Structure 1
């Protein structure tokens, strides 16, 4: 547990309440969002029946960084997460600030878009007119109340939601597994007659597909922000993080193979609801399946909002402890043991985002922002491993892994930028421009606010 520092303005600390299986469900719930339901079609458009290769490549890229995060979490169980390890290793407060804001923006935009999506789904399901933005704000308030009650209650809510959203994907696998083996899993749109099956597969195409499907693995990094509240973090953080990534990969690969086995990949790519199309064809006997999947979508998006709210409140708390944000944000309720001030501040920020509109454009930049953060965290771990006297964790990895993780994340950024500015349209160019704008704004904020109480070595 963190020691008291001069920066702390309140004696109460976060309490270690999360066990190994709870943190595994936290990681799995963070990854198994509603994104897979749309991503499978977009990835099929790029790779055809070989869409599973995109998920495999994305998993390998994510796993390198996931192993780095597991190592960091077993060494430094701090709520600041990526911002903490960046400051500890590179000792550049401005960079730690930018990393923290980038992670924060990815979570806030996800909460804002997710809450509005739930409100829209509820309106369609009930067949009534609803004030979407006000309902969305009400949902954020409800989630905030759950988190204020305490992390234990939030973890149980997450487990219920994770089981529900996983059941939707497992059902698709179960009803579609009998179709496996019926198609050529290396066929792509770029195959030539002379070259035959698989002749259109190139590393560039696989990487482009991996950039798309990488989004479905985002969420594992949130575990780092709650590591301060995990029992025996040296063991349980790596167990939860790596275990969640393995389970998510198995589910995604099986879903990808099932989808192209049941529905021809060209139809899958053209469908607005690709996995719903798979479910309809594989289980025509299931009456009311649309309503079931609307409910599952609501649970999935709601869980994403819940977990991002938890992550955001802990990140604000951690950055406050580092001296990067006002000390008020590191206050913890003496009874509930939750960072109640940070929770309240997040509610007002997300509400403002919902009311302002334009959140979807911000959300498009999430992958690029997080890939940038992943690159920095991997480099930070390399530096920490080379620094004499740094404490060892319960899960150590060879230095080659974070080095490769940094290289792969940087390569994925390059592929995304190359596609956006050479073959992409205006919409594709928007995401990197917004990502750069967020980074630039973060630097400007740091210069304007000039945090005066930054802990130099972050030895909290």
Structure 2
């Protein structure tokens, strides 16, 4: 597609811009890699405890629920392929700098907490592989952060190739589970539920709520739309194809897991898929799945770092962050200042220790952002003069997506664990306080044309 108003303005001023180098296969891998994180490896066990052998149904219903918002993101990305993601969309739809600020920082908080958490997991697993569990993991965590920052700063091509390698390993790990477990298929009742509960609407809702979070990650793709070739077509393809591929993998893994290990034992296993492999493929070295985990969590960290840097760059270009963060390296064509600015924040989060509750809190913020994005699409679809994208969806899709995400958010807020909602509220309060102190203003001249 042609250049955007922002790209044209930058070129006229002689300033370097982000380079459009991401093709459809890379976008597919980017989206799939964002979803196939370490979550699926533990989620199967938790789902088995609540859904019994019918966990595959939970993933199927969750995919339908998640795909509603995925379709909204695909449509918006094809309409407005600029860095800044959800923050850019919120400003376009509502023109409220405060809302744009909250949405942008909420997504950024989610990404940064994920990067910090995954860097510690990578370090701990590397020490396990080396048999050095007693060695402090902090130094390796910080070294890993520097490595990821270096890859992201070097170029989007390098980041994409690293993601493709990691995603291939992640997917291969799940395919290996399926391959060794296929001989066991047919040995379990795939509709057996805890306590003989019938499979009704309440059961399906419980399953969808539990497994919905295995699909989180698709939203990252919109942040690299400005670096994609022909994003009006390739971005929708990347999001939708990856969500369907992830669903097929999740359902097959779920069927395999309960076929090899009775769901009651699967729910009690500390490492559900490791237990499946131990029974179905005892010949496989125990360290192999630890190595796969390293690739999975490293990929999650990489993708969230890319997303956070593009979000920060996009907000700076809108005037909501310091202008220096909107600079692009003339040779590498990456937002290098934004990439480097995130590094001390991430180091502080790593040094803070266990931030598991922070990660849980930012999931709540993501659900709120999903709701806002779905409503934003409804607003933009009805606004006179807004040009349609290369991929359009009827209004019931974002309407249903907003209702689903709102319901999931309310369900999480009503849970017994009050710590995550309280911390999420504290994060929102801190974001609002920062806005009151800094008083950022959106520069209308920098908004996408």
TM-score of the superposed pair, with normalisation by structure 1: 0.93
Q: Name the CA distance, whole Å, in 2 between partners of 1:72 and 1:146.
A: 28
Alignment CA distance shift 1:453-1:401 (3 Å): closer
Deviation at 1:366, TM superposition (A): 3.1
Partner secondary structure for residue 444 of structure 2? coil
Instruction: Tell me how large the CA RMSD over aligned residues is.
Output: 1.7
Alpha-carbon contact 1:30-1:218 (below 8 Å) kept: yes
Q: Name the CA distance, whole Å, in 2 between partners of 1:218 and 1:453.
A: 29
Of the three residues 355, 358, 365, the one matched with 2:351 is 355
Of the three residues 2, 7, 26, the one matched with 2:4 is 2
2:87 aligned residue: 83
1:74 aligned residue: 78
Partner secondary structure for residue 364 of structure 1? helix
Residue 407 (1) aligns with residue 412 (2) = no
Q: Name the CA distance, whole Å, in 1 between partners of 2:423 and 2:209.
A: 17
Unaligned runs of 5+ in 2: none
Alpha-carbon contact 2:258-2:266 (below 8 Å) kept: yes
Map 1:36-435 onto structure 2 (within 5 A).
36-128=40-132, 129-191=134-196, 198-199=197-198, 201-284=199-282, 286-288=283-285, 290-418=286-414, 420=415, 424=416, 428-435=417-424
1:194 aligned residue: none
Count of residue correspondences: 444
Alpha-carbon contact 1:222-1:311 (below 8 Å) kept: yes
Q: Name the CA distance, whole Å, in 1 between partners of 2:57 and 2:147.
A: 39
Deviation at 1:108, TM superposition (A): 0.5
Unaligned runs of 5+ in 1: 192-197
TM-score of the superposed pair, with normalisation by structure 2: 0.95
Q: Name the CA distance, whole Å, in 2 between partners of 1:453 and 1:83.
A: 11
Q: Name the CA distance, whole Å, in 2 between partners of 1:75 and 1:453.
A: 20
Q: Name the CA distance, whole Å, in 1 between partners of 2:301 and 2:63.
A: 23
Greater displacement, 444-453 / 92-101: 444-453
Q: Name the CA distance, whole Å, in 1 between partners of 2:366 and 2:201.
A: 22
Q: Name the CA distance, whole Å, in 2 between partners of 1:51 and 1:119.
A: 31
Greater displacement, 34-43 / 434-443: 434-443
Residue 450 (1) aligns with residue 446 (2) = no
Q: Name the CA distance, whole Å, in 2 between partners of 1:34 and 1:410.
A: 25
Deviation at 1:305, TM superposition (A): 0.6
Alpha-carbon contact 2:6-2:447 (below 8 Å) kept: no
Q: Name the CA distance, whole Å, in 2 between partners of 1:456 and 1:54.
A: 46
Of the three residues 25, 37, 44, the one matched with 1:33 is 37
Alpha-carbon contact 1:371-1:413 (below 8 Å) kept: yes
Greater displacement, 361-370 / 389-398: 361-370
Partner secondary structure for residue 365 of structure 1? helix
Alpha-carbon contact 1:208-1:415 (below 8 Å) kept: no
1:391-445 Cα offsets, whole Å, 9 max, x none, are 1111011011000000011111122223x1xxx2xxx221122122212221121
